Amino acid sequence: MTTTDFLALIGVFAAAVAVPGPDVVQIIRFSVKSRASGIACATGIMVGYAIWIATSLLGLSALMQAAPNLLAGLQLVGGAYLLYMGISAVRSGYSAWRNGTKVTLPGNGHSQTLVTRTAFGVGLATNLSNPKSVLFFGAVFAQFITPGMGWEWMTIILITLFVIGLVMSVGFALLVDLFAGLLARCGHVVDMVTGSIFVGLGAWMMAEGAVSVKSNR
């Protein structure tokens, strides 16, 4: 891999991280609760990205070609997960609005450790369940990977992209935290809006997966 290709890969990856999607929505949702949960969610998302990067470096594109139903299966599973998260968020927001209480994170609200673990796990699961990650790393990202590039380049790519993505994601979480006071007052609205987005995305992903399964028969 040349230096030019490496810089181009960094630019493409940074753009993919910055594009609004389920990951960004989750960071906003958790950052409204607390700074720690927002950072934990962003970190979980980047661990998910690290897994995708490593998988792509090890041959994700070839696996997708060998198993065409893989993407369809991930769309169905990922869509179902987003649908579940969306419904849960909408119910939580609606309940808080009806009762006039603040929206709380799932799990034991008395333990900050459990709260951050919950945020980390949700961020990780959201990233791994997003079929768009498969498309990006299996198609776009794979174009920059050449056979026999060596473990040195693979390690450099993995570490560099992880650090860049982590700085971007955590930076966004901290930016949202600056407006946490304002957003917290309408936390139930944030949950209901983001939940509705997840419901829509989940339904769309499951529909796409069903169509893909049918076309692959």
Residues 138-142 have a mean pLDDT of 71
What is the band of 123 on the pLDDT scale with cuts at 50, 70, 90? very high
What is the reported pTM? 0.70
Residues 177-199 have a mean pLDDT of 71
Structure tokens at 56: 């792509």
Listed by start position, the domains of the chain span: 3-8+21-211
Mean of per-residue pLDDT scores for the chain? 78
Interatomic CA distance for residues 138 and 196, integer angstroms: 28
Contacting residues for 107 by C-beta, under 8 A, at least 6 apart = 114, 115, 117, 118
Of residues 175 and 209, more confidence is placed in: 175
Residues 47-65 have a mean pLDDT of 79
Kindly tell me if the per-residue pLDDT of 106 is higher than 50. no
pLDDT of residue 40: 94
